[in-house]
Structure 1
């Protein structure tokens, strides 16, 4: 007996038992198949052997029928000779006409045995001779010489024809008796073999069944002990999982609060930087006017211009280069500030979206997609793109999240079309096993397969960076899809377009939310 500790501590034990049980079942199945096949073969063989035995009996019966027919013909002829009644003559004629038919039937039945065919053919001549004798006797009677006919028949009873008929008939019977004994022995042997196979096969099946019962009972005991140990482990595991889940939920909430606070607090110094940058931009003119004035004063070529004058100072080449570098630096600072502002806004939006509770409602997805397509009609017209909406299944989900998912995918499809090529974008859907599968396909520039995962990372972008964006859209979309209990994938190659596949539950409820996303 295997204890639960052995079962849990030794993973090979259940595997070994499973292998032995599988082998045992396979052996039992093979035994059943072999016994069944042999039984069918032997039963079929026994039936054939019995058919041959019956066939031998039929041949013997036909021999007896032929001899009886000859005797019947002889009796009818003698009756006519003795009584001259027409009924005996009619019986004689009917019987004599069937004698050769009986010989033909005998040859037909003995067609499997050349010896019997030859013997049957040997009967024709003496039988015909005997029939001729009967016919001559009848002729005597018709000439009213009954005594002569009777005498002739009496003399022929020990004649050559009768002797040959008896001799050939004896040979036919002897051959059939030999075949009957041989075929009976063969049939008995086949039946005995079938019985032996059945008994041995049944014994093996019973033995295998007993071993199977033993192994099943032992496995059942081991399973019960393992289940008891597993229940104990599950109780501890559930408590651990609940504790870890609580910790994870608190950590997730803390991360969201932290992201919100950090993003919010980053705005304060960013606003200060934006303010000082604006002041620097306003001071730029005054600073370089003073530089120009100081230069003129030093060279005594002109008086110092007033600070508030709008006249453009005349700068030296070095000062003009300094002004250009100063302006370029300010523009760089302003673009960096704008990018930082957009990133902070995106982080705040992601944080707010992570805290938003989803509200599952019944959604006509086609109507939702048509509304999105209407909002991007101007973009699609500029890109000379056609957006095709194929039949889409309705689902129960969060409408706002669904709008954000498809808006982002359609907007990306329009944004990354190939220049100079009319755009073709299609949205289609189908259902399978309780899930709705949506495909957004385009004929755009495509995505290198090595970047398929990169595009879903936060703040990561792939390919030529000639379009505005922060690398947040697809990451946000995948997060929404996961929270809705679904999955998202992409199939794409460079210059061959892309297909984004979104799989969502047909009937989603808030309890299906993926809390880990």
Structure 2
């Protein structure tokens, strides 16, 4: 895909709910489900209450009413049997069932009055039965029971027909009462069965609705959330797998569509950046090839400079020196001056070539990194520079230096250039004093070489580290102007930095850093020479 390539836009859903996010869909769905469940639960509670009410009415009113009606009938029948027997025989024991029947009648009647509260027809039937019972008792039962015992009661025989008719009339009232109570009980049983059947249907419907809601919830989540997320994940995996041309389709609720749109935008930016990166990588590959060719040419130049150029230069230098020794003073002054110029130029050219070779070898030759004891390394450097140190009377002090990881040869060149510069650029009116300091900060060693020489103007802080940049003429201070440039290259090769730092007095302070590779140094301040 190239930069600026167009992509098909993902299809967006239309409708009043298109702007709904997942949270809104869940809120609406859960709210609807809760309302439906609340309605069904209310209907279920109503059916339970209705079944409970019918059951209570059946158990506590209808059935006890019928039972007590039967007990009332039994009590009256017992009274009639006792009176009939007493009237025919006059024996006292026949009055016992009669008297017990009176007590049972009162108990059953009182219980029926309690059970039939609010039941006008039932109360009317009860009063009819009790009224007819009182009529029979007043006309038959009471007079017969009050007759003397020991002989048949004539009143019983005289009123036998009337008593039978009165009791049959009472039986009819009791039959009507019991039939109505039985009908009421049967109706209550039927209502209870219907209520139980309705309750079972409602709770079956509730269970079915819950199952359907669960299925709908899972299906809704699958279509509205997990499905779009799965598709989005699949599209994203296609892109992460390297197919940056694969369009990420946005679907589902508004927030998931927005997420898909954002990821699609990110894919487009990545595809555009990738296209630009591919172009840049191609350019870098071409530049790498050019750099490789340049390095090969540099290697050839270094070989030529170290062999082919050195040989004729040595001949020129040797012969001009022979001319100077043999004919010096034999020619005129101008000829001697020309020969001196030639000797000096050849020697300086040889020094420049050697310095340039040394500068080009930094980072390419040796590269034998390992632990380097800087105390030992600086001691060797001071021995190498002992002649110039003794001639100038320089006083060099240093703190206890650490062990670092690096190339010993290159680090030796670093210390040699810094110390040699400090000795060379001394002030003519004072003895050179050079101090080497070190401190540790985080994972870095901070070194500094401070002298009391002629100093460097801060405006030249960057220029002094550029190759062949000199601040003085070769007549004032000899050298090729490559020393500090070489120091900078060595320090940067070792992942450090180097810079000119201000001093509190006259002189120069060069500070550089190296990665920490040993224990922290202690400031001893002990003089070396």
The TM-score range, normalised by the shorter chain, is 0.3 to 0.5
Q: Normalising by structure 2, what TM-score?
A: 0.44
- The structure carrying a bigger helix percent of its residues is 1
Higher RCO (Cα < 8 Å, 6 or more apart): 2
Which entry has the higher C-alpha Rg, 1 or 2? 2
